[in-house]
Structure 1
Amino acid sequence: MRSLRSGFSPASLLTGAATLATLGALLVAAPAAQAADTPLRDLAAAKGKAIGTAVTGSKLTGTYGDIAGAQFNWLTPGNAMKWETVEPSRGTYNWAEADQIVAFAQAHNQQVRGHTLVWHSQNPDWLENGTWTPAELSTLLQDHISTEVTRYKGRLAAWDVVNEPFNEDGTYRSTLWYNGLGADYIAQALTWARAADPSAKLYINDYNVEGVNAKSTALYNLVKSLKERGVPIDGVGLQAHLILGQVPATFQQNIQRFADLGVDVAITELDIRMQLPAIEAKLTQQAADYKAVLDACVAVTGCSGVTVWGFTDSDSWIPDVFEGYGAATPYDENYVPKPAYHAIATALGGTTTPPTGACTATYGVTSQWNTGFTGQVRIACSGAALSAWRVSWSFGAGQRITQAWNATCTQTGTAVSCANASYNGTVTNGGSVTFGFNGAWSGTNPVPAVTLG
């Protein structure tokens, strides 16, 4: 559906000494990224299901890349294959991020879900603001589909060909495509996609169609009609951008009725947002909601799997669009698995239980100059809480702390120990605190490994 949260590539923004001066939030306390004894992808495969995530190509390194590669067997490009990205100006193509994601998936034995070929949103200005005859618009659409699908022919397992064609009442959404070509733009798009790659499964994807309602019934009737006409349609995507405590009671029933049409059903963009702060009761409810969605998919043979729309809160679109809401994904911003992660594992047949003491410390350098630097440490908890804390590390290149705030820090030789101030020792489940310090350095300033305890 929507964009993942935009990320900045340090390589594209910083050069030379400025890079060192603005590096921030360098994650060095390894979270319990592989929290289950068995990775989610292996649990899902044992049940014949996919477990996927939307990803941002520029972030597929470090801990983010490690989790994306180890835990999921499907990837969906969050933005990299949308029209405004791949053809920002007419006839000029940019495949860099899409190629990067496909290459990453191939290297990690993962399938890729292409997203998305025909949509009313995130189209380039030249297309959206142009004046087109129906014949011109049809040619543009066919060329776009043929070009993109052919580029990845044989390398993508599925495509979200048409995205969000319906209004909430089940009528067709007024879009560039519907207004210019009529409702049959959907059949045409599917037909062109099939011609470009006969092996890829072709989907129609929409939101608020998870339960039985007017919108999902319109989608059901469309799919039924397409199949009767012989139009290539292999599946439906139920996006599942859900709100805490609002998993539809008819979710499994709805999945089953689509499966009974003879098409695959995929949960394509699952996240479950909550009003912040993410207190323990909300995280518990969120875990129950995630499990309910996974349970519904597992129960229906025709449900091929579930994709989460970003696996970490740091990559989620929710806070940018829904003011006051967030914490919608299975991992928190520090890559610590939340109760929702363990609920997914349980629904897929895992037998592990959430770890106790799921709190981590993250060391970062927020600014740096010739003789000094400013650092920050963030202590965050998920599935646990602290009433007091102490963080320690060893400096490896002669660095020395000269001043600290929001903590009491001592240094003996290379060893540094920082304890909470009287007012910030409590870290709630789902909460965090930070402290900062200034330090002196000369020559190099390597990031130390920190210990919370």
Structure 2
Amino acid sequence: MRSLRTGLSLASLVTGLALLLAAPAAHAADTPLRDLAAAKGKVIGTAVTGSKLTGAYGDIAGAQFSSLTPGNAMKWGTVEPAQGTFDWTEADQIVAFAQAHNQQVRGHTLVWHNQNPSWLTNGSWTPAQLSGLLQNHISTEVGRYKGKIASWDVVNEPFNEDGTYRPTLWYDGLGADYIANALTWAHAADPAAKLYINDYNVEGVNAKSTALYNLVKSLKARGVPIDGVGLQAHLILGQVPSTLQQNIQRFADLGVDVAITELDIRMALPADSAKLAQQKADFTSVVAACVAVTRCVNVTVWGFTDSDSWVPGTFPGYGAATPYDENYAPKPAYYGISGALGGTTPTPPPPAGACQAAYSVTSQWNTGFTGQVTISCSGASLSSWKANWTFGAGQQITQAWNATCTQSGTVVSCANASYNGSVPDGGSVTFGFNGSWSGSNPVPVVTLG
């Protein structure tokens, strides 16, 4: 959906350096995300800028991801800036890189109301002319990459927030059937490619996602070629929809695939350890929801590094939305993705003179589990404590012991009992709880406060 950023401010460089110093380093022994995803039967992707596919950027894009989405290189304004004049340079570069690294390509996007060339948007077209232009564009682009593109975001963002059709060049000029026609033309140009409708704010169950659901149901009933839906997932810190997995499942139940196509989770800057921990929990929650549904086939992040993110330029004061910082160091979010795909999260040693909390699941059954948190101190001590965390998949605490626990939504806070607030240097305290879970039970990050 969004343009990937190409500029880098001094302030963002300073922020990136600070995060680099705070983040765990990526080690060669870490299992690449693409291998973890493959073991789960999933594809893990990233949007990329073709000109950057060298050096560290190219190394990470090739090693960690099994799918690439051109951030801008396949949009109409890029490939046909003048009528009948095509520029495939960057698109070809990305496809070639993907082929060299045994990666899929997700084509993005054929029909959208943004990033169209001025000759198209400023023209006066009859419906027949507009339909001809659209068919020619789709046939030309899809045909050029026939056999090289695994899936296409054919139609992008067709709905308003209330579920009505967005007024665009296409809808206003051709009516709602521009969607069915676009899918039909794309299928004719490459029958093997999977064809998607892609939109934002459709991650949870709401009016907009229900409109998309009804459209897909109608298209399938009419025999129109539609293979999947893309949930963009441009999310805000701490606001992963509670109905995400339910929504993925209801689309899957229609007989189509589902992909998380443009995942990023933005936060108010500057980033700090608490925000990065919440972001990790949010990425864990989104990926875990996809893992839990068989027909959720792909999770793609919208740029893997903060230096290539559209967020700061679009939402002033917000950023740090991707799994890597601006110096290509993995952030906690990276390990959230890894953990949701079955990887292990490294536990850094505690800093000198500090107390820390460690969360573990000691047993799990059907829809319940028992967990515990151990608070330990080295070179420091506590006279009282409070442990805080955010559940990433809707878990609920039902009972606790050796602590007083409260839960508000996904946020849990547990304070010491009257008899165990003291944690001496070199000592530890453990409390436990029972909880309920559904779909997945990822381990959260606990902070002391």
TM-score (norm 2): 0.74
Within 5 A, what are the aligned runs for 1:6-405?
6=6, 32-34=25-27, 37-353=30-346, 355=348
The amino acid of 2:55's aligned partner reads G
Give the CA deviation at 1:356. Answer: 5.9
- In structure 2, C-alpha distance between the alignment counterparts of 1:357 and 1:76, rounded to whole Å: 38
Q: Is the 8 A contact 1:35 1:337 kept in 2?
A: no
Give the CA deviation at 1:173. Answer: 0.1
Runs of 4+ off more than 2 Å: 31-36, 354-358
Q: Give the length in aligned residue pairs.
A: 340
Give the CA deviation at 1:32. Answer: 3.5
The amino acid of 2:292's aligned partner reads A
SS in 2 for 1:305: strand
Which residue does 1:4 correspond to in 2? 4
- Evaluate the alpha carbon distance shift between residue 163 and residue 36 of structure 1 in structure 2; reply closer, same or farther with a 3 A threshold: farther
Q: Is the 8 A contact 2:142 2:190 kept in 1?
A: yes
Q: Is the 8 A contact 2:6 2:307 kept in 1?
A: no
SS in 1 for 2:108: strand
- In structure 2, C-alpha distance between the alignment counterparts of 1:116 and 1:60, rounded to whole Å: 20
- In structure 2, C-alpha distance between the alignment counterparts of 1:356 and 1:100, rounded to whole Å: 42
SS in 2 for 1:205: strand
Structure with more relative contact order (C-alpha pairs < 8 Å, separation 6 or more): 1
**In the TM superposition, what whole-angstrom CA distance separates every residue of 1:376-414 from its partner, at most 9, and x where no partner exists?**
xxxxxxxxxxxxxxxxxxxxxxxxxxxxxxxxxxxxxxx
Q: Is the 8 A contact 1:313 1:328 kept in 2?
A: yes
SS in 2 for 1:274: strand
The amino acid of 2:297's aligned partner reads S
- In structure 2, C-alpha distance between the alignment counterparts of 1:357 and 1:200, rounded to whole Å: 49
**Runs of 5+ in structure 1 lacking a partner?**
9-24, 359-453
- Evaluate the alpha carbon distance shift between residue 155 and residue 129 of structure 1 in structure 2; reply closer, same or farther with a 3 A threshold: same
Give the CA deviation at 1:108. Answer: 0.2
Give the CA deviation at 1:351. Answer: 1.6
The amino acid of 1:106's aligned partner reads Q
Give the CA deviation at 1:237. Answer: 0.1
The amino acid of 2:232's aligned partner reads Q
Q: What value does the CA root-mean-square deviation take over the aligned residues?
A: 1.9
- In structure 1, C-alpha distance between the alignment counterparts of 2:350 and 2:312, rounded to whole Å: 27
Give the CA deviation at 1:355. Answer: 4.9
SS in 1 for 2:46: strand
- In structure 2, C-alpha distance between the alignment counterparts of 1:357 and 1:125, rounded to whole Å: 57
Percent identity reads 82
The amino acid of 1:169's aligned partner reads D
Which residue does 2:389 correspond to in 1? none
Which residue does 1:372 correspond to in 2? none
Q: Is the 8 A contact 2:46 2:65 kept in 1?
A: yes
Give the CA deviation at 1:37. Answer: 1.6
- In structure 2, C-alpha distance between the alignment counterparts of 1:357 and 1:148, rounded to whole Å: 53
- In structure 1, C-alpha distance between the alignment counterparts of 2:284 and 2:223, rounded to whole Å: 36
- Evaluate the alpha carbon distance shift between residue 123 and residue 355 of structure 1 in structure 2; reply closer, same or farther with a 3 A threshold: farther
Give the CA deviation at 1:352. Answer: 3.6
**In the TM superposition, what whole-angstrom CA distance separates every residue of 1:203-236 from its partner, at most 9, and x where no partner exists?**
0000000000000000000000000000000000
The amino acid of 2:103's aligned partner reads Q
**Runs of 5+ in structure 2 lacking a partner?**
9-16, 352-449
- In structure 2, C-alpha distance between the alignment counterparts of 1:125 and 1:34, rounded to whole Å: 47
- Evaluate the alpha carbon distance shift between residue 231 and residue 277 of structure 1 in structure 2; reply closer, same or farther with a 3 A threshold: same
- In structure 1, C-alpha distance between the alignment counterparts of 2:29 and 2:286, rounded to whole Å: 19
The amino acid of 1:64's aligned partner reads Y
Give the CA deviation at 1:36. Answer: 6.1
Q: Is the 8 A contact 1:266 1:305 kept in 2?
A: yes
- In structure 2, C-alpha distance between the alignment counterparts of 1:83 and 1:34, rounded to whole Å: 39
The amino acid of 2:59's aligned partner reads D
